[in-house]
Structure 1
Amino acid sequence: MSTLLVPAGDVRLEAEISEPVGEAPGGVVVFAHGSGSGRRSPRNREVAARLTKRGLATVLFDLLTPEEEIEDLHTAQLRFNVPLLAGRLSRVVAWVRSEEAGALTGRPVGLFGASTGAAAALVAAASTPRDVGAVVSRGGRPDLAAHALGAVRAPTLLIVGGHDTDVLALNEQALERMDPGAGHRLAVVPGAGHLFEEPGALREVARLSSEWFCSNLPE
Protein backbone atom coordinates (compact mmCIF):
# COMPACT_ATOMS: atom_id res chain seq x y z
CA MET A 1 0.00 0.00 0.00
CA SER A 2 1.26 3.46 -0.88
CA THR A 3 0.08 6.79 0.54
CA LEU A 4 0.19 10.00 -1.47
CA LEU A 5 -1.54 13.31 -2.14
CA VAL A 6 -3.88 13.30 -5.14
CA PRO A 7 -4.75 16.56 -6.91
CA ALA A 8 -8.49 17.33 -6.94
CA GLY A 9 -9.00 20.82 -8.30
CA ASP A 10 -7.73 23.43 -5.87
CA VAL A 11 -6.94 20.92 -3.12
CA ARG A 12 -4.78 17.85 -2.67
CA LEU A 13 -6.36 14.88 -0.91
CA GLU A 14 -4.68 12.10 1.04
CA ALA A 15 -5.08 8.72 -0.65
CA GLU A 16 -3.97 5.12 -0.17
CA ILE A 17 -3.45 2.85 -3.17
CA SER A 18 -3.33 -0.93 -2.96
CA GLU A 19 -2.34 -3.24 -5.81
CA PRO A 20 -2.96 -7.00 -5.92
CA VAL A 21 0.16 -9.11 -5.48
CA GLY A 22 1.21 -11.40 -8.30
CA GLU A 23 -1.75 -10.51 -10.49
CA ALA A 24 -1.92 -9.15 -14.01
CA PRO A 25 -3.13 -5.52 -13.93
CA GLY A 26 -6.91 -5.39 -13.63
CA GLY A 27 -9.37 -2.60 -12.98
CA VAL A 28 -9.17 0.14 -10.36
CA VAL A 29 -11.91 0.81 -7.80
CA VAL A 30 -12.05 4.29 -6.27
CA PHE A 31 -13.85 4.52 -2.91
CA ALA A 32 -16.01 7.42 -1.75
CA HIS A 33 -16.71 7.22 1.99
CA GLY A 34 -19.89 8.21 3.76
CA SER A 35 -20.68 11.13 6.01
CA GLY A 36 -18.38 11.58 8.98
CA SER A 37 -15.96 8.94 7.74
CA GLY A 38 -12.69 8.89 5.78
CA ARG A 39 -10.22 6.71 3.95
CA ARG A 40 -9.60 4.73 7.13
CA SER A 41 -13.21 3.54 7.31
CA PRO A 42 -12.92 -0.07 8.55
CA ARG A 43 -15.92 -1.13 6.48
CA ASN A 44 -14.54 0.25 3.24
CA ARG A 45 -11.10 -1.15 4.01
CA GLU A 46 -12.57 -4.61 4.50
CA VAL A 47 -14.32 -4.43 1.14
CA ALA A 48 -11.19 -3.04 -0.50
CA ALA A 49 -9.11 -5.94 0.83
CA ARG A 50 -11.54 -8.41 -0.77
CA LEU A 51 -11.36 -6.55 -4.09
CA THR A 52 -7.57 -6.62 -4.01
CA LYS A 53 -7.68 -10.38 -3.50
CA ARG A 54 -9.80 -10.59 -6.65
CA GLY A 55 -7.13 -8.77 -8.67
CA LEU A 56 -8.43 -5.21 -8.51
CA ALA A 57 -6.42 -2.16 -7.43
CA THR A 58 -8.12 0.14 -4.92
CA VAL A 59 -7.90 3.85 -4.13
CA LEU A 60 -9.20 5.02 -0.75
CA PHE A 61 -9.01 8.77 -0.26
CA ASP A 62 -10.31 11.52 1.98
CA LEU A 63 -13.00 13.60 0.29
CA LEU A 64 -12.16 16.53 2.60
CA THR A 65 -8.86 18.13 3.58
CA PRO A 66 -7.80 17.94 7.26
CA GLU A 67 -8.87 21.56 7.74
CA GLU A 68 -12.27 20.89 6.15
CA GLU A 69 -12.76 17.82 8.34
CA ILE A 70 -12.29 19.97 11.45
CA GLU A 71 -14.81 22.48 10.10
CA ASP A 72 -17.24 19.69 9.26
CA LEU A 73 -17.07 18.30 12.78
CA HIS A 74 -18.70 21.54 13.93
CA THR A 75 -21.08 22.21 11.02
CA ALA A 76 -21.76 18.77 9.44
CA GLN A 77 -22.39 20.64 6.18
CA LEU A 78 -19.57 19.60 3.88
CA ARG A 79 -20.34 15.90 4.24
CA PHE A 80 -23.73 16.53 2.63
CA ASN A 81 -22.40 18.82 -0.11
CA VAL A 82 -22.84 16.24 -2.88
CA PRO A 83 -21.81 18.58 -5.76
CA LEU A 84 -18.53 19.31 -3.96
CA LEU A 85 -17.86 15.66 -3.17
CA ALA A 86 -18.82 14.46 -6.65
CA GLY A 87 -16.58 17.06 -8.25
CA ARG A 88 -13.62 15.92 -6.20
CA LEU A 89 -14.37 12.28 -6.91
CA SER A 90 -14.50 13.04 -10.65
CA ARG A 91 -11.12 14.76 -10.43
CA VAL A 92 -9.61 11.78 -8.62
CA VAL A 93 -10.96 9.51 -11.38
CA ALA A 94 -9.40 11.83 -13.97
CA TRP A 95 -6.09 11.59 -12.10
CA VAL A 96 -6.30 7.77 -12.00
CA ARG A 97 -6.75 7.74 -15.77
CA SER A 98 -3.91 10.20 -16.39
CA GLU A 99 -0.22 9.49 -16.88
CA GLU A 100 0.45 10.94 -13.43
CA ALA A 101 -1.10 7.82 -11.86
CA GLY A 102 1.71 5.59 -13.10
CA ALA A 103 0.72 1.91 -13.11
CA LEU A 104 -2.96 2.77 -12.72
CA THR A 105 -3.10 4.74 -15.95
CA GLY A 106 -5.39 3.44 -18.66
CA ARG A 107 -7.09 0.77 -16.56
CA PRO A 108 -10.89 0.59 -16.29
CA VAL A 109 -12.29 2.45 -13.27
CA GLY A 110 -15.14 1.52 -10.95
CA LEU A 111 -16.62 3.52 -8.08
CA PHE A 112 -17.64 2.22 -4.66
CA GLY A 113 -19.67 4.67 -2.61
CA ALA A 114 -21.12 4.40 0.89
CA SER A 115 -23.98 6.51 2.27
CA THR A 116 -23.51 10.09 1.01
CA GLY A 117 -20.41 8.93 -0.85
CA ALA A 118 -22.70 6.75 -2.96
CA ALA A 119 -24.60 9.86 -4.05
CA ALA A 120 -21.30 11.45 -5.03
CA ALA A 121 -20.36 8.30 -6.97
CA LEU A 122 -23.63 8.33 -8.90
CA VAL A 123 -23.27 12.00 -9.81
CA ALA A 124 -19.64 11.45 -10.84
CA ALA A 125 -20.60 8.43 -12.96
CA ALA A 126 -23.35 10.42 -14.67
CA SER A 127 -21.06 13.35 -15.42
CA THR A 128 -18.12 11.25 -16.70
CA PRO A 129 -19.73 8.27 -18.50
CA ARG A 130 -16.59 7.49 -20.50
CA ASP A 131 -14.40 7.29 -17.42
CA VAL A 132 -16.48 5.10 -15.08
CA GLY A 133 -17.19 1.47 -15.98
CA ALA A 134 -19.22 0.27 -12.98
CA VAL A 135 -20.60 1.51 -9.65
CA VAL A 136 -21.43 -0.12 -6.32
CA SER A 137 -23.45 1.68 -3.65
CA ARG A 138 -23.42 0.38 -0.06
CA GLY A 139 -26.24 1.68 2.08
CA GLY A 140 -26.32 4.62 -0.28
CA ARG A 141 -28.41 7.77 -0.39
CA PRO A 142 -29.30 7.90 -4.10
CA ASP A 143 -32.03 10.43 -3.32
CA LEU A 144 -29.24 12.98 -2.87
CA ALA A 145 -28.30 12.33 -6.51
CA ALA A 146 -31.86 12.32 -7.83
CA HIS A 147 -31.14 14.76 -10.66
CA ALA A 148 -28.39 12.52 -12.05
CA LEU A 149 -29.94 9.05 -11.76
CA GLY A 150 -31.35 8.90 -15.26
CA ALA A 151 -27.95 9.74 -16.74
CA VAL A 152 -25.97 6.95 -15.02
CA ARG A 153 -24.82 4.60 -17.78
CA ALA A 154 -22.30 2.54 -15.79
CA PRO A 155 -23.90 -0.69 -14.47
CA THR A 156 -24.75 0.06 -10.84
CA LEU A 157 -25.33 -2.33 -7.95
CA LEU A 158 -27.32 -0.86 -5.07
CA ILE A 159 -26.61 -2.89 -1.90
CA VAL A 160 -28.92 -2.29 1.05
CA GLY A 161 -29.48 -4.05 4.37
CA GLY A 162 -32.84 -5.76 4.73
CA HIS A 163 -33.45 -4.07 8.09
CA ASP A 164 -32.48 -0.62 6.76
CA THR A 165 -36.06 -0.06 5.66
CA ASP A 166 -35.99 3.70 5.04
CA VAL A 167 -32.84 3.52 2.90
CA LEU A 168 -34.17 0.41 1.15
CA ALA A 169 -37.25 2.37 0.08
CA LEU A 170 -35.04 5.21 -1.22
CA ASN A 171 -32.98 2.75 -3.25
CA GLU A 172 -36.05 1.04 -4.69
CA GLN A 173 -37.36 4.43 -5.80
CA ALA A 174 -33.96 5.33 -7.26
CA LEU A 175 -33.76 2.11 -9.27
CA GLU A 176 -37.10 2.96 -10.88
CA ARG A 177 -35.63 6.27 -12.08
CA MET A 178 -32.50 4.72 -13.57
CA ASP A 179 -32.12 3.47 -17.15
CA PRO A 180 -33.46 -0.12 -17.18
CA GLY A 181 -31.26 -0.98 -20.12
CA ALA A 182 -27.99 -0.20 -18.33
CA GLY A 183 -28.01 -3.34 -16.18
CA HIS A 184 -28.55 -1.70 -12.79
CA ARG A 185 -29.59 -3.99 -9.93
CA LEU A 186 -30.67 -3.87 -6.29
CA ALA A 187 -29.24 -6.44 -3.84
CA VAL A 188 -30.69 -6.78 -0.34
CA VAL A 189 -28.57 -8.33 2.40
CA PRO A 190 -31.06 -10.11 4.70
CA GLY A 191 -30.96 -9.13 8.37
CA ALA A 192 -28.44 -6.33 7.87
CA GLY A 193 -28.78 -2.77 9.14
CA HIS A 194 -27.39 0.44 7.70
CA LEU A 195 -23.79 -0.19 8.80
CA PHE A 196 -23.78 -3.93 7.98
CA GLU A 197 -22.40 -4.71 11.42
CA GLU A 198 -24.25 -8.02 11.77
CA PRO A 199 -22.19 -11.26 11.51
CA GLY A 200 -21.38 -12.00 7.89
CA ALA A 201 -23.17 -8.92 6.51
CA LEU A 202 -20.10 -6.97 5.42
CA ARG A 203 -18.56 -10.16 4.04
CA GLU A 204 -21.62 -10.46 1.80
CA VAL A 205 -21.20 -6.83 0.71
CA ALA A 206 -17.60 -7.58 -0.24
CA ARG A 207 -18.61 -10.70 -2.15
CA LEU A 208 -21.35 -8.93 -4.10
CA SER A 209 -19.06 -5.98 -4.85
CA SER A 210 -16.13 -8.06 -6.06
CA GLU A 211 -18.37 -10.11 -8.34
CA TRP A 212 -19.99 -6.96 -9.73
CA PHE A 213 -16.72 -5.23 -10.53
CA CYS A 214 -15.09 -8.36 -11.93
CA SER A 215 -18.11 -8.90 -14.19
CA ASN A 216 -18.60 -5.31 -15.34
CA LEU A 217 -15.13 -3.78 -15.57
CA PRO A 218 -13.55 -4.78 -18.90
CA GLU A 219 -10.23 -6.60 -18.93
Structure 2
Amino acid sequence: MIKELLKIKLDHIHVEGELIIPDHCQGIVIFSHGSGSGRFSPRNNFVAQYLKKLNLGTFLFDLLTREEAMDSTLRFNIPLLTERLEKVSRHLLKIPYTKSLPFCYFGGSTGAASAMIASTLIPRHIAAIVSRGGRLDLSYEYLPEVEAPSLLIVGEYDNDILEINRRALDLLQVPKKLEIVPGATHLFEEPGCLEQVAELAGNWFLKYARLKSNQKKQRIKTTN
Protein backbone atom coordinates (compact mmCIF):
# COMPACT_ATOMS: atom_id res chain seq x y z
CA MET A 1 0.00 0.00 0.00
CA ILE A 2 1.15 3.53 -0.78
CA LYS A 3 0.27 6.31 1.66
CA GLU A 4 1.57 9.77 0.91
CA LEU A 5 0.87 13.37 1.87
CA LEU A 6 0.97 15.47 -1.28
CA LYS A 7 1.49 19.21 -1.48
CA ILE A 8 0.42 20.42 -4.91
CA LYS A 9 1.25 23.87 -6.24
CA LEU A 10 -1.65 25.57 -8.00
CA ASP A 11 -0.69 29.01 -9.28
CA HIS A 12 -0.02 31.15 -6.16
CA ILE A 13 -1.15 28.61 -3.54
CA HIS A 14 -0.50 25.03 -2.41
CA VAL A 15 -3.18 22.49 -1.62
CA GLU A 16 -2.52 19.48 0.60
CA GLY A 17 -4.05 16.05 0.53
CA GLU A 18 -3.60 12.44 1.55
CA LEU A 19 -3.21 9.87 -1.18
CA ILE A 20 -3.73 6.19 -0.36
CA ILE A 21 -3.27 3.49 -2.99
CA PRO A 22 -4.02 -0.03 -1.67
CA ASP A 23 -2.49 -3.19 -3.09
CA HIS A 24 -4.37 -4.50 -6.14
CA CYS A 25 -5.93 -1.06 -6.57
CA GLN A 26 -9.04 -0.99 -8.78
CA GLY A 27 -9.18 2.79 -9.25
CA ILE A 28 -8.74 6.06 -7.41
CA VAL A 29 -11.54 8.17 -5.95
CA ILE A 30 -10.84 11.91 -5.71
CA PHE A 31 -13.01 13.69 -3.16
CA SER A 32 -14.47 17.09 -3.99
CA HIS A 33 -15.53 18.61 -0.68
CA GLY A 34 -18.32 21.12 -0.38
CA SER A 35 -19.39 24.15 1.64
CA GLY A 36 -15.99 24.86 3.16
CA SER A 37 -15.34 21.27 4.21
CA GLY A 38 -11.89 19.77 3.74
CA ARG A 39 -9.88 16.58 3.80
CA PHE A 40 -10.64 16.01 7.48
CA SER A 41 -14.39 15.86 6.88
CA PRO A 42 -15.64 12.98 9.08
CA ARG A 43 -18.29 11.98 6.54
CA ASN A 44 -15.92 11.82 3.59
CA ASN A 45 -13.27 10.04 5.67
CA PHE A 46 -15.86 7.45 6.67
CA VAL A 47 -16.67 6.84 3.01
CA ALA A 48 -12.97 6.75 2.14
CA GLN A 49 -12.28 4.08 4.75
CA TYR A 50 -15.02 1.92 3.27
CA LEU A 51 -13.68 2.40 -0.28
CA LYS A 52 -10.20 1.28 0.78
CA LYS A 53 -11.68 -2.06 1.87
CA LEU A 54 -12.82 -2.49 -1.74
CA ASN A 55 -9.27 -1.89 -3.00
CA LEU A 56 -10.14 1.58 -4.24
CA GLY A 57 -7.54 4.29 -3.77
CA THR A 58 -8.54 7.65 -2.32
CA PHE A 59 -7.32 11.22 -2.47
CA LEU A 60 -8.77 13.64 0.05
CA PHE A 61 -7.46 17.18 -0.26
CA ASP A 62 -8.33 20.74 0.68
CA LEU A 63 -9.88 22.66 -2.22
CA LEU A 64 -9.39 25.87 -0.23
CA THR A 65 -6.52 26.99 1.97
CA ARG A 66 -7.22 27.54 5.66
CA GLU A 67 -7.45 31.30 5.10
CA GLU A 68 -9.71 30.94 2.06
CA ALA A 69 -12.07 28.61 3.92
CA MET A 70 -12.88 31.47 6.26
CA ASP A 71 -14.33 33.44 3.33
CA SER A 72 -17.87 32.10 2.93
CA THR A 73 -18.16 33.48 -0.62
CA LEU A 74 -15.35 31.21 -1.84
CA ARG A 75 -17.23 28.13 -0.66
CA PHE A 76 -19.74 28.76 -3.45
CA ASN A 77 -17.21 29.84 -6.07
CA ILE A 78 -17.84 26.86 -8.34
CA PRO A 79 -15.50 28.00 -11.16
CA LEU A 80 -12.62 28.27 -8.65
CA LEU A 81 -13.36 24.90 -7.03
CA THR A 82 -13.72 23.27 -10.45
CA GLU A 83 -10.44 24.69 -11.70
CA ARG A 84 -8.59 23.37 -8.66
CA LEU A 85 -10.19 19.95 -8.89
CA GLU A 86 -9.23 19.71 -12.56
CA LYS A 87 -5.64 20.80 -11.89
CA VAL A 88 -5.24 18.36 -9.00
CA SER A 89 -6.62 15.57 -11.21
CA ARG A 90 -4.13 16.44 -13.94
CA HIS A 91 -1.33 16.40 -11.37
CA LEU A 92 -2.31 12.87 -10.30
CA LEU A 93 -2.32 11.85 -13.96
CA LYS A 94 1.42 12.57 -14.02
CA ILE A 95 2.30 10.39 -11.02
CA PRO A 96 3.60 6.95 -12.13
CA TYR A 97 1.57 4.90 -9.65
CA THR A 98 -1.73 6.72 -10.24
CA LYS A 99 -1.75 7.76 -13.89
CA SER A 100 -2.80 4.35 -15.20
CA LEU A 101 -5.69 3.94 -12.75
CA PRO A 102 -9.34 4.75 -13.55
CA PHE A 103 -10.21 8.04 -11.85
CA CYS A 104 -13.55 8.65 -10.09
CA TYR A 105 -15.05 11.66 -8.35
CA PHE A 106 -16.99 11.69 -5.08
CA GLY A 107 -18.59 15.08 -4.50
CA GLY A 108 -20.63 16.36 -1.58
CA SER A 109 -22.89 19.42 -1.62
CA THR A 110 -21.22 22.17 -3.73
CA GLY A 111 -18.32 19.80 -4.34
CA ALA A 112 -20.63 17.60 -6.39
CA ALA A 113 -21.26 20.49 -8.79
CA SER A 114 -17.50 20.99 -9.15
CA ALA A 115 -17.01 17.28 -9.79
CA MET A 116 -19.62 17.24 -12.55
CA ILE A 117 -18.10 20.24 -14.32
CA ALA A 118 -14.48 19.09 -13.87
CA SER A 119 -15.38 15.73 -15.43
CA THR A 120 -16.32 17.51 -18.65
CA LEU A 121 -12.82 19.01 -18.84
CA ILE A 122 -11.01 15.65 -18.69
CA PRO A 123 -13.78 13.28 -19.83
CA ARG A 124 -11.66 10.35 -21.01
CA HIS A 125 -10.04 10.03 -17.58
CA ILE A 126 -13.13 9.97 -15.35
CA ALA A 127 -14.74 6.54 -14.97
CA ALA A 128 -17.60 7.44 -12.62
CA ILE A 129 -19.07 10.14 -10.41
CA VAL A 130 -21.01 9.89 -7.15
CA SER A 131 -22.84 12.91 -5.77
CA ARG A 132 -23.84 12.98 -2.08
CA GLY A 133 -26.51 15.55 -1.32
CA GLY A 134 -25.23 17.48 -4.33
CA ARG A 135 -26.00 21.10 -5.13
CA LEU A 136 -26.27 20.11 -8.74
CA ASP A 137 -28.36 23.17 -9.56
CA LEU A 138 -24.99 24.95 -9.62
CA SER A 139 -23.95 22.77 -12.57
CA TYR A 140 -27.21 22.31 -14.49
CA GLU A 141 -25.91 23.80 -17.74
CA TYR A 142 -22.97 21.38 -17.80
CA LEU A 143 -24.82 18.17 -16.96
CA PRO A 144 -25.77 17.28 -20.56
CA GLU A 145 -22.01 17.30 -21.35
CA VAL A 146 -21.04 14.88 -18.57
CA GLU A 147 -19.72 11.59 -19.97
CA ALA A 148 -19.07 9.67 -16.74
CA PRO A 149 -21.78 7.37 -15.31
CA SER A 150 -23.32 9.28 -12.42
CA LEU A 151 -24.94 8.16 -9.19
CA LEU A 152 -26.91 10.75 -7.21
CA ILE A 153 -27.47 9.95 -3.52
CA VAL A 154 -29.96 12.04 -1.54
CA GLY A 155 -31.57 11.71 1.87
CA GLU A 156 -35.31 11.01 1.93
CA TYR A 157 -36.01 14.11 4.03
CA ASP A 158 -33.62 16.45 2.22
CA ASN A 159 -36.56 17.83 0.26
CA ASP A 160 -35.03 20.78 -1.62
CA ILE A 161 -31.92 18.83 -2.62
CA LEU A 162 -34.09 15.90 -3.70
CA GLU A 163 -35.96 18.11 -6.17
CA ILE A 164 -32.67 19.53 -7.44
CA ASN A 165 -31.31 16.03 -8.02
CA ARG A 166 -34.45 14.85 -9.80
CA ARG A 167 -34.00 17.72 -12.24
CA ALA A 168 -30.30 16.88 -12.57
CA LEU A 169 -31.14 13.26 -13.35
CA ASP A 170 -33.25 14.40 -16.28
CA LEU A 171 -30.39 16.53 -17.63
CA LEU A 172 -27.74 13.80 -17.47
CA GLN A 173 -27.29 11.85 -20.70
CA VAL A 174 -25.18 9.00 -19.32
CA PRO A 175 -25.81 5.82 -17.31
CA LYS A 176 -27.34 7.35 -14.20
CA LYS A 177 -29.30 6.57 -11.07
CA LEU A 178 -30.92 8.43 -8.20
CA GLU A 179 -30.70 6.62 -4.85
CA ILE A 180 -32.86 7.94 -2.01
CA VAL A 181 -31.63 6.86 1.42
CA PRO A 182 -34.67 6.17 3.67
CA GLY A 183 -34.90 8.27 6.83
CA ALA A 184 -31.87 10.40 5.97
CA THR A 185 -31.53 14.17 6.09
CA HIS A 186 -28.89 16.27 4.31
CA LEU A 187 -25.85 15.16 6.32
CA PHE A 188 -26.88 11.48 6.58
CA GLU A 189 -26.33 11.64 10.34
CA GLU A 190 -29.11 9.18 11.15
CA PRO A 191 -28.03 5.65 12.24
CA GLY A 192 -26.93 3.48 9.34
CA CYS A 193 -27.46 6.15 6.67
CA LEU A 194 -23.82 7.01 5.99
CA GLU A 195 -23.07 3.30 5.77
CA GLN A 196 -25.63 3.08 2.97
CA VAL A 197 -23.99 6.01 1.18
CA ALA A 198 -20.59 4.31 1.37
CA GLU A 199 -21.94 1.00 0.10
CA LEU A 200 -23.85 2.58 -2.79
CA ALA A 201 -20.83 4.65 -3.79
CA GLY A 202 -18.43 1.72 -3.53
CA ASN A 203 -20.57 -0.53 -5.74
CA TRP A 204 -20.91 2.22 -8.35
CA PHE A 205 -17.21 3.02 -8.42
CA LEU A 206 -16.15 -0.62 -8.64
CA LYS A 207 -18.56 -1.36 -11.46
CA TYR A 208 -17.43 1.50 -13.69
CA ALA A 209 -13.75 1.51 -12.72
CA ARG A 210 -13.55 -2.13 -13.78
CA LEU A 211 -15.43 -1.33 -16.97
CA LYS A 212 -12.99 1.48 -17.73
CA SER A 213 -10.03 -0.84 -17.10
CA ASN A 214 -11.46 -3.50 -19.38
CA GLN A 215 -12.07 -0.95 -22.14
CA LYS A 216 -8.49 0.25 -21.85
CA LYS A 217 -7.14 -3.30 -22.05
CA GLN A 218 -9.31 -3.93 -25.10
CA ARG A 219 -7.98 -0.81 -26.83
CA ILE A 220 -4.39 -1.87 -26.12
CA LYS A 221 -5.12 -5.35 -27.48
CA THR A 222 -6.70 -3.90 -30.61
CA THR A 223 -3.77 -1.54 -31.15
CA ASN A 224 -1.27 -4.37 -30.85
Instruction: Identify the TM-score tier after normalising by the shorter chain.
Output: over 0.9
**Pairing 1:176–2:178 present:** no
2:78 matched to which residue of 1?
Answer: 82
1:55-74 equivalent positions in 2, closer than 5 A: 55-70=55-70, 72=71
Report matched runs for 1:9-28 at 5 Å.
Answer: 9-20=11-22, 23-28=23-28
Q: Is the 8 A contact 1:118 1:140 kept in 2?
A: yes
1:126 aligns with 120
CA–CA distance in structure 1, aligned partners of residues 89 and 55 of structure 2: 19
Counterpart Cα distance in 1 of 2:85 and 2:57: 16
Aligned-partner Cα distance in 1 for 2:129–2:9? 22
- 4+ aligned runs moved over 2 Å, structure 1: 7-11
Match status 1:189 vs 2:181: yes
User: What is the percentage of aligned positions where both structures have the same residue?
Assistant: 46
1:158 aligned partner: 152
Using the size of structure 2 for normalisation, the TM-score is: 0.90
1:3 aligns with 2:11: no
RMSD (CA atoms)? 1.1
Which structure 1 segments of 5+ residues have no match? Answer: none
For 2:101 and 2:11, locate their aligned partners in 1 and report how far apart those are by CA, in whole Å.
22
Q: State the match for 1:45 in structure 2.
A: 45
Q: Which residue of 2 aligns with 1:141?
A: 135
1:204 aligns with 2:196: yes
Alpha-carbon offset, residue 12 of structure 1: 1.8
**1:130 deviation in Å?**
1.3
Instruction: Provide the rounded CA distance (Å) in 2 between the counterparts of 1:94 and 1:115.
Output: 23
How many residues align? The count is: 209
5+ residue gaps, structure 2: 214-224
Distance, in Å, in 1 between the alignment partners of 2:18 and 2:138 is: 27
Question: Matched residues in 2 for 1:173 and 1:28: separation?
Answer: 28
